[in-house]
Chains A and B, each alone.
Chain A
Protein backbone atom coordinates (compact mmCIF):
# COMPACT_ATOMS: atom_id res chain seq x y z
CA UNK A 1 0.00 0.00 0.00
CA UNK A 2 2.72 2.45 0.96
CA UNK A 3 4.60 1.82 -2.25
CA UNK A 4 1.43 2.52 -4.17
CA UNK A 5 0.85 5.85 -2.44
CA UNK A 6 4.44 6.95 -2.97
CA UNK A 7 4.11 5.98 -6.59
CA UNK A 8 0.95 8.06 -6.93
CA UNK A 9 2.68 10.96 -5.21
CA UNK A 10 5.71 10.94 -7.48
CA UNK A 11 3.32 10.65 -10.41
CA UNK A 12 1.55 13.81 -9.22
CA UNK A 13 4.76 15.78 -8.70
CA UNK A 14 5.90 14.68 -12.13
CA UNK A 15 2.72 16.01 -13.65
CA UNK A 16 3.01 19.35 -11.84
CA UNK A 17 6.62 19.62 -12.97
CA UNK A 18 5.64 18.91 -16.54
CA UNK A 19 2.95 21.61 -16.43
CA UNK A 20 5.43 24.11 -15.00
CA UNK A 21 7.94 23.26 -17.71
CA UNK A 22 5.26 23.85 -20.31
CA UNK A 23 4.44 27.30 -18.94
CA UNK A 24 8.14 28.05 -18.72
CA UNK A 25 8.68 27.10 -22.35
CA UNK A 26 5.80 29.39 -23.38
CA UNK A 27 7.41 32.26 -21.49
CA UNK A 28 10.72 31.43 -23.10
CA UNK A 29 9.23 31.58 -26.60
CA UNK A 30 7.56 34.91 -25.77
CA UNK A 31 10.86 36.17 -24.42
CA UNK A 32 12.82 35.14 -27.51
CA UNK A 33 10.13 36.75 -29.67
CA UNK A 34 10.46 40.06 -27.83
CA UNK A 35 14.26 39.96 -27.78
CA UNK A 36 14.32 39.37 -31.52
CA UNK A 37 12.00 42.32 -31.95
CA UNK A 38 14.49 44.62 -30.22
CA UNK A 39 17.69 43.30 -31.83
CA UNK A 40 16.41 41.96 -35.18
CA UNK A 41 16.45 44.06 -38.38
CA UNK A 42 13.26 46.09 -38.89
CA UNK A 43 13.06 45.25 -42.60
CA UNK A 44 14.36 41.69 -42.41
CA UNK A 45 17.90 40.64 -43.20
CA UNK A 46 20.09 38.34 -45.20
CA UNK A 47 22.40 35.55 -44.06
CA UNK A 48 24.90 34.46 -46.72
CA UNK A 49 22.75 36.08 -49.33
CA UNK A 50 19.53 34.29 -48.32
CA UNK A 51 16.70 36.31 -46.96
CA UNK A 52 16.36 34.33 -43.75
CA UNK A 53 15.85 36.87 -40.99
CA UNK A 54 12.19 37.85 -40.64
CA UNK A 55 11.20 41.47 -40.35
CA UNK A 56 10.93 42.52 -36.75
CA UNK A 57 8.61 45.50 -37.20
CA UNK A 58 5.22 45.64 -35.50
CA UNK A 59 3.37 44.62 -38.66
CA UNK A 60 5.18 41.35 -39.15
CA UNK A 61 5.80 40.61 -35.49
CA UNK A 62 3.36 42.30 -33.14
CA UNK A 63 4.26 42.54 -29.48
CA UNK A 64 3.21 39.60 -27.34
CA UNK A 65 1.00 41.81 -25.14
CA UNK A 66 -0.64 43.31 -28.23
CA UNK A 67 -1.63 39.83 -29.36
CA UNK A 68 -2.92 38.94 -25.92
CA UNK A 69 -4.88 42.13 -25.37
CA UNK A 70 -6.35 41.76 -28.85
CA UNK A 71 -8.44 38.89 -27.47
CA UNK A 72 -10.43 41.20 -25.23
CA UNK A 73 -11.27 43.68 -27.97
CA UNK A 74 -14.19 43.27 -30.40
CA UNK A 75 -13.68 41.24 -33.56
CA UNK A 76 -14.91 44.05 -35.80
CA UNK A 77 -15.03 47.74 -35.05
CA UNK A 78 -18.43 48.53 -33.62
CA UNK A 79 -19.32 44.90 -32.99
CA UNK A 80 -19.82 43.87 -29.38
CA UNK A 81 -18.55 40.33 -29.92
CA UNK A 82 -15.14 40.02 -28.32
CA UNK A 83 -12.57 38.27 -30.47
CA UNK A 84 -11.85 35.61 -27.86
CA UNK A 85 -15.37 34.29 -28.10
CA UNK A 86 -15.20 34.25 -31.91
CA UNK A 87 -11.88 32.39 -31.87
CA UNK A 88 -13.18 30.01 -29.22
CA UNK A 89 -16.31 29.25 -31.24
CA UNK A 90 -14.18 28.68 -34.34
CA UNK A 91 -11.82 26.41 -32.44
CA UNK A 92 -14.74 24.45 -31.03
CA UNK A 93 -16.19 24.00 -34.52
CA UNK A 94 -12.86 22.78 -35.89
CA UNK A 95 -12.32 20.63 -32.81
CA UNK A 96 -15.47 18.67 -33.51
CA UNK A 97 -14.47 18.20 -37.14
CA UNK A 98 -11.00 17.10 -36.09
CA UNK A 99 -12.55 14.69 -33.60
CA UNK A 100 -14.69 13.12 -36.31
CA UNK A 101 -11.65 12.97 -38.60
CA UNK A 102 -9.57 11.46 -35.83
CA UNK A 103 -12.19 8.82 -35.10
CA UNK A 104 -12.52 7.86 -38.76
CA UNK A 105 -8.75 7.91 -39.27
CA UNK A 106 -7.97 5.89 -36.15
CA UNK A 107 -10.60 3.29 -36.99
CA UNK A 108 -9.40 3.03 -40.57
CA UNK A 109 -5.75 2.86 -39.48
CA UNK A 110 -6.48 0.14 -36.93
CA UNK A 111 -8.52 -1.82 -39.43
CA UNK A 112 -5.76 -1.65 -42.02
CA UNK A 113 -3.12 -2.65 -39.47
CA UNK A 114 -5.15 -5.70 -38.45
CA UNK A 115 -5.59 -6.64 -42.10
CA UNK A 116 -1.85 -6.27 -42.70
CA UNK A 117 -0.94 -8.20 -39.56
CA UNK A 118 -3.34 -10.98 -40.54
CA UNK A 119 -2.23 -11.36 -44.13
CA UNK A 120 1.40 -10.89 -45.07
CA UNK A 121 0.26 -10.41 -48.66
CA UNK A 122 -1.93 -7.51 -47.56
CA UNK A 123 1.05 -5.88 -45.91
CA UNK A 124 3.09 -6.14 -49.07
CA UNK A 125 0.15 -4.97 -51.18
CA UNK A 126 -1.16 -2.14 -49.01
CA UNK A 127 1.76 -0.59 -47.15
CA UNK A 128 3.46 1.01 -50.21
CA UNK A 129 0.18 2.65 -51.17
CA UNK A 130 -0.25 4.02 -47.67
CA UNK A 131 3.16 5.63 -47.90
CA UNK A 132 2.39 7.04 -51.34
CA UNK A 133 -0.97 8.37 -50.13
CA UNK A 134 0.82 10.61 -47.65
CA UNK A 135 2.84 12.26 -50.39
CA UNK A 136 -0.31 13.53 -52.13
CA UNK A 137 -0.49 17.23 -51.27
CA UNK A 138 -3.54 17.95 -49.15
CA UNK A 139 -4.11 21.25 -50.95
CA UNK A 140 -4.58 19.35 -54.21
CA UNK A 141 -6.89 16.82 -52.67
CA UNK A 142 -9.03 19.25 -50.69
CA UNK A 143 -11.06 20.83 -53.54
CA UNK A 144 -11.93 17.38 -54.89
CA UNK A 145 -13.22 16.08 -51.58
CA UNK A 146 -14.97 19.33 -50.80
CA UNK A 147 -16.77 19.21 -54.13
CA UNK A 148 -18.68 16.18 -52.80
CA UNK A 149 -20.36 18.50 -50.33
CA UNK A 150 -24.08 18.66 -50.95
CA UNK A 151 -23.68 16.65 -54.19
CA UNK A 152 -22.84 13.16 -53.08
CA UNK A 153 -25.87 11.14 -52.03
CA UNK A 154 -25.46 7.82 -50.31
CA UNK A 155 -28.66 5.91 -49.63
CA UNK A 156 -30.74 8.98 -48.96
CA UNK A 157 -28.00 10.69 -46.95
CA UNK A 158 -26.43 13.81 -48.41
CA UNK A 159 -22.75 14.37 -47.89
CA UNK A 160 -22.46 17.55 -45.77
CA UNK A 161 -19.73 20.07 -46.52
CA UNK A 162 -18.15 19.82 -43.09
CA UNK A 163 -17.74 16.08 -43.64
CA UNK A 164 -15.18 16.83 -46.35
CA UNK A 165 -12.95 18.65 -43.87
CA UNK A 166 -13.29 15.78 -41.41
CA UNK A 167 -12.36 13.30 -44.14
CA UNK A 168 -9.22 15.27 -44.95
CA UNK A 169 -8.34 15.18 -41.25
CA UNK A 170 -8.87 11.42 -41.33
CA UNK A 171 -6.68 11.21 -44.42
CA UNK A 172 -3.71 12.52 -42.45
CA UNK A 173 -4.64 10.75 -39.21
CA UNK A 174 -4.96 7.16 -40.39
CA UNK A 175 -1.37 6.81 -41.54
CA UNK A 176 0.53 6.97 -38.23
CA UNK A 177 -2.08 4.70 -36.65
CA UNK A 178 -1.83 2.11 -39.42
CA UNK A 179 1.97 2.02 -39.24
CA UNK A 180 2.24 2.19 -35.44
CA UNK A 181 -0.44 -0.40 -34.81
CA UNK A 182 1.07 -2.77 -37.38
CA UNK A 183 4.40 -2.54 -35.56
CA UNK A 184 2.60 -3.14 -32.27
CA UNK A 185 0.51 -6.06 -33.50
CA UNK A 186 3.65 -7.85 -34.64
CA UNK A 187 5.55 -7.04 -31.45
CA UNK A 188 4.22 -9.88 -29.28
CA UNK A 189 7.12 -12.13 -28.22
CA UNK A 190 7.24 -15.49 -29.97
CA UNK A 191 7.10 -17.28 -26.61
CA UNK A 192 3.72 -15.65 -25.89
CA UNK A 193 2.48 -16.52 -29.37
CA UNK A 194 3.57 -20.09 -28.77
CA UNK A 195 1.70 -20.08 -25.48
CA UNK A 196 -1.49 -19.05 -27.27
CA UNK A 197 -0.79 -21.82 -29.80
CA UNK A 198 -0.49 -24.30 -26.99
CA UNK A 199 -3.98 -23.24 -25.88
CA UNK A 200 -5.17 -23.89 -29.43
CA UNK A 201 -6.33 -20.25 -29.55
CA UNK A 202 -7.75 -18.99 -32.85
CA UNK A 203 -6.18 -16.06 -34.68
CA UNK A 204 -8.90 -13.73 -33.42
CA UNK A 205 -8.52 -14.90 -29.85
CA UNK A 206 -4.78 -14.33 -30.12
CA UNK A 207 -5.48 -10.87 -31.53
CA UNK A 208 -7.82 -9.92 -28.72
CA UNK A 209 -5.97 -11.42 -25.80
CA UNK A 210 -2.35 -11.01 -26.87
CA UNK A 211 -1.54 -9.03 -29.99
CA UNK A 212 -3.81 -6.09 -29.34
CA UNK A 213 -2.93 -5.52 -25.66
CA UNK A 214 0.75 -5.94 -26.58
CA UNK A 215 0.28 -3.29 -29.28
CA UNK A 216 -1.17 -0.62 -26.97
CA UNK A 217 2.22 0.94 -26.11
CA UNK A 218 2.79 1.36 -29.86
CA UNK A 219 -0.73 2.51 -30.67
CA UNK A 220 -0.88 5.27 -28.06
CA UNK A 221 1.97 7.41 -29.47
CA UNK A 222 0.61 6.88 -32.98
CA UNK A 223 -2.76 8.18 -31.77
CA UNK A 224 -1.04 11.30 -30.48
CA UNK A 225 0.45 11.89 -33.91
CA UNK A 226 -2.94 11.19 -35.45
CA UNK A 227 -4.60 13.72 -33.14
CA UNK A 228 -2.43 16.60 -34.27
CA UNK A 229 -2.52 15.37 -37.88
CA UNK A 230 -6.30 15.45 -37.87
CA UNK A 231 -6.23 19.07 -36.65
CA UNK A 232 -3.80 20.01 -39.40
CA UNK A 233 -5.93 18.23 -41.98
CA UNK A 234 -9.10 20.00 -40.89
CA UNK A 235 -7.51 23.46 -40.65
CA UNK A 236 -5.80 23.12 -44.02
CA UNK A 237 -9.05 21.89 -45.56
CA UNK A 238 -10.88 24.87 -44.10
CA UNK A 239 -8.25 27.26 -45.35
CA UNK A 240 -8.00 25.82 -48.85
CA UNK A 241 -11.74 25.53 -49.37
CA UNK A 242 -12.95 28.45 -47.28
CA UNK A 243 -15.32 26.31 -45.21
CA UNK A 244 -17.13 28.67 -42.86
CA UNK A 245 -17.28 28.36 -39.09
CA UNK A 246 -13.87 26.98 -38.23
CA UNK A 247 -10.53 28.34 -37.10
CA UNK A 248 -9.04 27.87 -40.58
CA UNK A 249 -11.52 30.31 -42.08
CA UNK A 250 -10.73 32.80 -39.31
CA UNK A 251 -7.03 32.55 -40.10
CA UNK A 252 -7.52 33.52 -43.77
CA UNK A 253 -10.02 36.23 -42.94
CA UNK A 254 -7.80 37.79 -40.29
CA UNK A 255 -4.69 37.44 -42.43
CA UNK A 256 -6.31 39.80 -44.95
CA UNK A 257 -6.38 42.45 -42.24
CA UNK A 258 -2.73 41.93 -41.36
CA UNK A 259 -1.68 45.42 -42.39
CA UNK A 260 -4.29 47.26 -40.38
CA UNK A 261 -4.58 44.85 -37.47
CA UNK A 262 -1.49 42.63 -37.36
CA UNK A 263 -2.21 41.09 -33.94
CA UNK A 264 -5.56 39.78 -35.08
CA UNK A 265 -4.34 36.88 -37.20
CA UNK A 266 -2.20 35.66 -34.33
CA UNK A 267 -5.25 35.29 -32.13
CA UNK A 268 -6.57 32.75 -34.61
CA UNK A 269 -3.19 31.05 -35.06
CA UNK A 270 -2.94 30.52 -31.32
CA UNK A 271 -6.49 29.25 -31.39
CA UNK A 272 -5.37 26.57 -33.84
CA UNK A 273 -2.40 25.71 -31.62
CA UNK A 274 -4.64 25.36 -28.57
CA UNK A 275 -6.91 23.17 -30.65
CA UNK A 276 -3.99 20.86 -31.42
CA UNK A 277 -3.04 20.80 -27.74
CA UNK A 278 -6.61 19.99 -26.73
CA UNK A 279 -6.63 17.06 -29.14
CA UNK A 280 -3.35 15.67 -27.79
CA UNK A 281 -4.55 16.27 -24.25
CA UNK A 282 -7.59 14.24 -25.07
CA UNK A 283 -5.40 11.38 -26.29
CA UNK A 284 -3.10 11.73 -23.28
CA UNK A 285 -6.10 11.12 -21.02
CA UNK A 286 -6.91 8.00 -23.03
CA UNK A 287 -3.25 7.02 -22.76
CA UNK A 288 -3.26 7.35 -18.98
CA UNK A 289 -6.38 5.23 -18.81
CA UNK A 290 -5.10 2.49 -21.12
CA UNK A 291 -1.63 2.33 -19.59
CA UNK A 292 -2.76 2.65 -15.96
CA UNK A 293 -1.83 -0.91 -15.08
CA UNK A 294 1.37 -1.22 -17.04
CA UNK A 295 4.87 -1.16 -15.60
CA UNK A 296 5.90 2.46 -15.13
CA UNK A 297 9.67 2.17 -15.24
CA UNK A 298 9.98 3.68 -18.72
CA UNK A 299 8.78 7.14 -17.70
CA UNK A 300 10.31 7.14 -14.22
Chain B
Protein backbone atom coordinates (compact mmCIF):
# COMPACT_ATOMS: atom_id res chain seq x y z
CA UNK B 1 0.00 0.00 0.00
CA UNK B 2 1.28 3.47 -0.72
CA UNK B 3 1.66 5.78 2.25
CA UNK B 4 0.85 8.97 0.39
CA UNK B 5 -1.06 9.25 -2.86
CA UNK B 6 -1.10 12.72 -4.41
CA UNK B 7 -3.24 13.12 -7.53
CA UNK B 8 -3.54 16.34 -9.54
CA UNK B 9 -3.11 18.50 -6.47
CA UNK B 10 -3.13 22.28 -6.92
CA UNK B 11 -2.95 24.94 -4.28
CA UNK B 12 -3.57 28.64 -4.75
CA UNK B 13 -3.39 31.09 -1.86
CA UNK B 14 -5.77 34.07 -1.78
CA UNK B 15 -7.77 32.44 -4.52
CA UNK B 16 -9.59 34.90 -6.74
CA UNK B 17 -8.07 38.01 -5.22
CA UNK B 18 -5.58 40.26 -6.96
CA UNK B 19 -2.68 38.83 -4.97
CA UNK B 20 -3.43 35.21 -5.78
CA UNK B 21 -0.38 32.94 -5.50
CA UNK B 22 -0.36 29.68 -7.42
CA UNK B 23 1.87 27.79 -5.01
CA UNK B 24 1.40 24.34 -6.56
CA UNK B 25 -0.11 23.17 -9.81
CA UNK B 26 -1.00 19.67 -10.82
CA UNK B 27 1.24 17.69 -8.51
CA UNK B 28 1.27 13.91 -8.86
CA UNK B 29 3.31 11.83 -6.50
CA UNK B 30 2.99 8.40 -5.02
CA UNK B 31 5.07 7.52 -1.98
CA UNK B 32 5.39 3.87 -1.04
CA UNK B 33 5.22 2.67 2.50
CA UNK B 34 8.66 2.66 4.13
CA UNK B 35 10.09 4.92 1.46
CA UNK B 36 12.27 7.96 2.17
CA UNK B 37 11.42 10.79 -0.23
CA UNK B 38 13.04 14.21 -0.28
CA UNK B 39 11.60 17.38 -1.77
CA UNK B 40 14.16 19.80 -3.13
CA UNK B 41 13.89 22.96 -5.18
CA UNK B 42 14.44 26.68 -5.09
CA UNK B 43 12.95 28.84 -2.38
CA UNK B 44 9.25 29.45 -2.91
CA UNK B 45 8.61 26.42 -5.13
CA UNK B 46 6.03 25.09 -2.69
CA UNK B 47 7.88 22.39 -0.73
CA UNK B 48 6.49 23.45 2.62
CA UNK B 49 3.09 23.94 1.07
CA UNK B 50 3.10 20.38 -0.24
CA UNK B 51 4.12 19.07 3.18
CA UNK B 52 1.41 21.05 4.92
CA UNK B 53 -1.13 19.73 2.42
CA UNK B 54 -0.15 16.16 3.27
CA UNK B 55 -0.41 17.09 6.96
CA UNK B 56 -3.88 18.54 6.30
CA UNK B 57 -2.88 21.83 7.89
CA UNK B 58 -4.17 23.48 4.73
CA UNK B 59 -6.69 22.26 2.16
CA UNK B 60 -5.85 21.83 -1.53
CA UNK B 61 -7.62 24.02 -4.07
CA UNK B 62 -8.19 20.97 -6.24
CA UNK B 63 -7.03 17.40 -6.56
CA UNK B 64 -7.08 14.34 -4.40
CA UNK B 65 -4.91 13.37 -1.46
CA UNK B 66 -4.85 9.99 0.26
CA UNK B 67 -2.73 9.32 3.33
CA UNK B 68 -2.49 5.79 4.71
CA UNK B 69 -5.47 4.82 2.63
CA UNK B 70 -7.73 7.50 4.10
CA UNK B 71 -8.43 11.17 3.58
CA UNK B 72 -5.68 13.52 4.75
CA UNK B 73 -8.04 14.89 7.37
CA UNK B 74 -8.82 11.49 8.80
CA UNK B 75 -5.10 10.70 8.90
CA UNK B 76 -4.49 13.87 10.88
CA UNK B 77 -7.33 13.13 13.29
CA UNK B 78 -5.88 9.64 13.78
CA UNK B 79 -2.40 11.13 14.35
CA UNK B 80 -1.06 8.91 11.61
CA UNK B 81 1.91 11.19 11.07
CA UNK B 82 4.51 13.01 13.12
CA UNK B 83 5.88 16.37 12.12
CA UNK B 84 9.13 18.26 12.67
CA UNK B 85 10.15 21.70 11.47
CA UNK B 86 13.33 23.74 11.11
CA UNK B 87 12.59 25.39 14.45
CA UNK B 88 12.27 22.69 17.08
CA UNK B 89 9.10 24.37 18.38
CA UNK B 90 9.47 22.86 21.85
CA UNK B 91 7.37 24.35 24.63
CA UNK B 92 9.77 26.17 26.95
CA UNK B 93 7.60 25.59 30.01
CA UNK B 94 7.74 21.81 29.63
CA UNK B 95 10.64 19.56 30.42
CA UNK B 96 12.17 17.55 27.62
CA UNK B 97 10.24 14.45 28.68
CA UNK B 98 6.99 16.41 29.01
CA UNK B 99 7.48 17.86 25.53
CA UNK B 100 7.72 14.37 24.12
CA UNK B 101 4.63 13.35 26.07
CA UNK B 102 2.54 16.18 24.58
CA UNK B 103 1.12 14.27 21.59
CA UNK B 104 0.44 11.29 23.87
CA UNK B 105 -1.44 13.48 26.35
CA UNK B 106 -3.61 14.74 23.53
CA UNK B 107 -4.26 11.18 22.50
CA UNK B 108 -5.46 10.48 26.04
CA UNK B 109 -2.77 8.03 27.13
CA UNK B 110 -2.44 7.43 30.85
CA UNK B 111 0.51 8.83 32.72
CA UNK B 112 2.54 5.67 33.27
CA UNK B 113 2.32 4.71 29.62
CA UNK B 114 3.30 8.22 28.54
CA UNK B 115 6.34 8.32 30.76
CA UNK B 116 7.45 4.93 29.59
CA UNK B 117 7.18 5.96 25.95
CA UNK B 118 8.96 9.27 26.56
CA UNK B 119 11.90 7.46 28.13
CA UNK B 120 11.98 5.03 25.26
CA UNK B 121 12.07 7.92 22.75
CA UNK B 122 14.77 9.71 24.73
CA UNK B 123 16.89 6.60 24.60
CA UNK B 124 16.36 6.48 20.86
CA UNK B 125 17.71 10.01 20.36
CA UNK B 126 20.37 9.44 23.04
CA UNK B 127 19.16 12.09 25.46
CA UNK B 128 18.14 9.92 28.40
CA UNK B 129 20.16 12.06 30.83
CA UNK B 130 18.22 15.17 29.88
CA UNK B 131 14.66 14.03 30.54
CA UNK B 132 14.11 16.62 33.26
CA UNK B 133 15.95 19.50 31.63
CA UNK B 134 14.14 22.35 30.00
CA UNK B 135 14.55 22.99 26.27
CA UNK B 136 16.42 26.25 26.84
CA UNK B 137 19.07 24.33 28.75
CA UNK B 138 19.86 22.29 25.62
CA UNK B 139 21.93 23.01 22.52
CA UNK B 140 20.23 23.55 19.18
CA UNK B 141 21.09 20.04 17.97
CA UNK B 142 19.77 18.48 21.16
CA UNK B 143 16.54 20.47 20.88
CA UNK B 144 16.11 19.23 17.34
CA UNK B 145 16.58 15.66 18.52
CA UNK B 146 13.88 16.20 21.14
CA UNK B 147 11.58 17.54 18.42
CA UNK B 148 12.21 14.43 16.36
CA UNK B 149 11.58 12.23 19.39
CA UNK B 150 8.31 14.08 19.90
CA UNK B 151 7.35 13.53 16.27
CA UNK B 152 8.10 9.82 16.63
CA UNK B 153 6.45 9.41 20.03
CA UNK B 154 3.14 8.10 18.72
CA UNK B 155 5.07 5.65 16.52
CA UNK B 156 3.61 7.22 13.40
CA UNK B 157 3.90 5.32 10.17
CA UNK B 158 4.61 8.61 8.40
CA UNK B 159 7.09 11.32 9.30
CA UNK B 160 6.85 14.79 7.72
CA UNK B 161 9.96 16.93 8.11
CA UNK B 162 10.53 20.48 6.89
CA UNK B 163 14.24 21.29 6.87
CA UNK B 164 14.65 19.76 10.31
CA UNK B 165 18.43 20.00 10.21
CA UNK B 166 18.56 23.40 8.52
CA UNK B 167 19.66 25.24 11.64
CA UNK B 168 22.37 22.75 12.60
CA UNK B 169 26.10 22.87 11.91
CA UNK B 170 27.54 20.49 9.34
CA UNK B 171 28.95 17.98 11.87
CA UNK B 172 25.77 17.69 13.91
CA UNK B 173 23.79 17.59 10.74
CA UNK B 174 25.59 14.56 9.28
CA UNK B 175 25.36 12.83 12.61
CA UNK B 176 21.62 13.50 12.79
CA UNK B 177 21.13 12.25 9.23
CA UNK B 178 22.67 8.90 10.13
CA UNK B 179 20.58 8.69 13.28
CA UNK B 180 17.38 9.51 11.45
CA UNK B 181 18.11 6.81 8.88
CA UNK B 182 18.73 4.15 11.50
CA UNK B 183 15.60 5.13 13.44
CA UNK B 184 13.45 4.95 10.32
CA UNK B 185 15.06 1.72 9.17
CA UNK B 186 14.33 0.14 12.54
CA UNK B 187 10.71 1.29 12.59
CA UNK B 188 9.91 1.11 8.88
CA UNK B 189 8.69 4.70 8.94
CA UNK B 190 7.85 6.49 5.70
CA UNK B 191 9.49 9.92 5.51
CA UNK B 192 8.75 12.98 3.43
CA UNK B 193 11.70 15.30 3.93
CA UNK B 194 12.10 18.89 2.72
CA UNK B 195 15.68 20.11 2.33
CA UNK B 196 17.83 22.68 0.60
CA UNK B 197 20.90 20.49 0.56
CA UNK B 198 21.58 18.19 -2.39
CA UNK B 199 23.95 15.82 -0.51
CA UNK B 200 21.51 15.57 2.35
CA UNK B 201 18.67 14.68 -0.01
CA UNK B 202 20.77 12.09 -1.82
CA UNK B 203 22.25 10.56 1.32
CA UNK B 204 18.86 10.08 2.96
CA UNK B 205 16.48 9.32 0.14
CA UNK B 206 15.27 6.52 -2.04
CA UNK B 207 13.90 9.18 -4.35
CA UNK B 208 14.54 12.89 -4.66
CA UNK B 209 11.65 14.98 -5.98
CA UNK B 210 12.96 18.06 -7.78
CA UNK B 211 10.52 20.95 -7.90
CA UNK B 212 10.43 24.26 -9.75
CA UNK B 213 8.70 27.49 -8.81
CA UNK B 214 6.00 29.76 -10.21
CA UNK B 215 3.91 27.81 -10.41
CA UNK B 216 5.26 25.04 -8.17
CA UNK B 217 5.46 21.70 -9.94
CA UNK B 218 7.49 18.52 -10.02
CA UNK B 219 10.10 18.66 -12.77
CA UNK B 220 11.90 15.41 -12.17
CA UNK B 221 12.09 12.52 -9.77
CA UNK B 222 15.62 11.17 -9.28
CA UNK B 223 16.00 7.57 -8.13
CA UNK B 224 18.94 7.12 -5.79
CA UNK B 225 20.28 3.59 -6.00
CA UNK B 226 22.86 3.12 -3.30
CA UNK B 227 23.43 -0.53 -2.45
CA UNK B 228 23.21 -1.76 1.11
CA UNK B 229 22.96 0.09 4.37
CA UNK B 230 23.86 3.77 4.32
CA UNK B 231 26.53 4.95 6.72
CA UNK B 232 29.38 7.42 6.76
CA UNK B 233 31.20 5.41 4.10
CA UNK B 234 28.26 6.07 1.79
CA UNK B 235 29.40 9.67 1.48
CA UNK B 236 32.47 8.47 -0.45
CA UNK B 237 30.48 6.06 -2.55
CA UNK B 238 30.40 6.45 -6.36
CA UNK B 239 26.62 5.90 -6.39
CA UNK B 240 26.28 8.78 -3.90
CA UNK B 241 28.14 11.14 -6.23
CA UNK B 242 26.16 9.88 -9.17
CA UNK B 243 22.99 10.77 -7.29
CA UNK B 244 24.30 14.23 -6.47
CA UNK B 245 25.15 14.85 -10.09
CA UNK B 246 21.74 13.69 -11.23
CA UNK B 247 19.92 15.97 -8.79
CA UNK B 248 22.18 18.88 -9.69
CA UNK B 249 21.44 18.33 -13.38
CA UNK B 250 17.75 18.27 -12.68
CA UNK B 251 18.03 21.50 -10.71
CA UNK B 252 20.00 23.08 -13.59
CA UNK B 253 16.97 22.47 -15.76
CA UNK B 254 15.03 24.42 -13.19
CA UNK B 255 17.65 27.12 -13.21
CA UNK B 256 17.39 27.59 -16.96
CA UNK B 257 13.69 28.09 -16.77
CA UNK B 258 13.85 30.28 -13.73
CA UNK B 259 16.23 31.91 -11.36
CA UNK B 260 17.42 29.51 -8.68
CA UNK B 261 18.08 30.64 -5.18
CA UNK B 262 18.54 28.91 -1.93
CA UNK B 263 20.11 25.63 -3.03
CA UNK B 264 23.12 24.50 -1.08
CA UNK B 265 25.49 22.57 -3.27
CA UNK B 266 27.43 20.92 -0.52
> Which residues of A pack against B, CB within 8 Å?
189, 191-192, 194-201, 205, 209-210, 213, 216, 293-295
Q: Contact partner of B93 among A197, A198, A205, A293, CB < 8 A?
A: A293
A210 to B105, CA, bound (A): 13
- Chain B interface residue count, Cβ-Cβ cutoff 8 angstroms: 22
Q: Is the CB of B106 within 8 A of A209?
A: yes
> Nearest chain B CB to A3's CB is how many angstroms away?
9
Q: Are A198 and B83 touching (Cβ within 8 A)?
A: yes
B85 cross-chain contacts in A, Cβ below 8 A: 191
Provide the bound-state CA to CA distance between A201 and B57, in Å.
12
Complex interface: chain B residues within 8 A of A205 (CB):
106
Closest-CB distance, B157 to chain A (whole angstroms): 15
Which 4 A-B residue pairs are closest in the complex by CB-CB distance? A295-B136, A213-B93, A200-B77, A199-B106
Q: Hey, which chain B residues are within 8 Å of A191, CB to CB?
A: 85, 87, 89
B57 touches A198 (CB 8 A): yes
Q: Which chain B positions have C-beta within 8 A of A199?
A: 79, 102-103, 106-107
CA–CA, A294 and B89, complex, Å: 15
Known: A209-B91, A294-B92. 19 other contacts (CB 8 A): A191-B85, A191-B87, A192-B89, A194-B52, A194-B57, A195-B83, A197-B76, A198-B76, A198-B81, A199-B79, A199-B103, A200-B76, A200-B106, A209-B102, A213-B91, A216-B93, A293-B95, A294-B93, A294-B136
Q: A189 contacts which chain B residues (CB < 8 A)?
A: 89
Quick one: CB contact mask for B91-128 with A, threshold 8 Å, 1 for yes?
Answer: 11101000000110111000000000000000000000
User: Are A198's CB and B105's CB within 8 A?
Assistant: no
Q: How far is the CA of A199 from the CA of B104 in the complex (A)?
A: 9
Cβ contact of A201, chosen from B55, B83, B92, B106, cutoff 8 A:
B106
Q: Indicate whether A295 sits within 8 Å of B91 (C-beta atoms), given known contacts A198-B55, A209-B106.
A: no
Check B134 for interface membership: any CB of A closer than 8 A. yes
Q: Is the CB of A200 within 8 A of B83?
A: no
Inter-chain contact B136/A197, CB cutoff 8 Å: no
B73 vs chain A, min Cβ distance (A)? 9
Inter-chain CA distance A210–B106, complex, in Å, is 12
Closest to A291 in B: B93
Inter-chain contacts of A200 with B (CB < 8 A): 76-77, 79, 106
What is the CA–CA distance of A198 and B134 in the complex, to the nearest angstrom? 23
Do A209 and B105 touch (CB < 8 A)?
yes
The reply to whether B79 and A197 contact each other, CB–CB distance below 8 Å, is: no
A213 proximity list for chain B (CB < 8 A): 91, 93
Pull 14 A–B residue pairs with CB atoms less than 8 Å apart, ordered by A: A195-B89, A196-B106, A197-B57, A197-B76, A198-B55, A198-B76, A209-B91, A209-B106, A213-B93, A293-B95, A293-B134, A294-B93, A295-B92, A295-B136
Q: How far is A196 from B83 in the complex, measured between Cα atoms in Å?
A: 11
Chain A residues contacting B52 (CB-CB under 8 Å) are 194
Q: How far is the CB of A1 from chain B (nearest CB, A)?
A: 12
B residues near A294, Cβ cutoff 8 Å? 92-93, 136
> In the complex, what's the smallest C-beta–C-beta distance from A4 to chain B, in angstroms?
9
- What B residues does A295 contact at CB under 8 A? 92, 134, 136
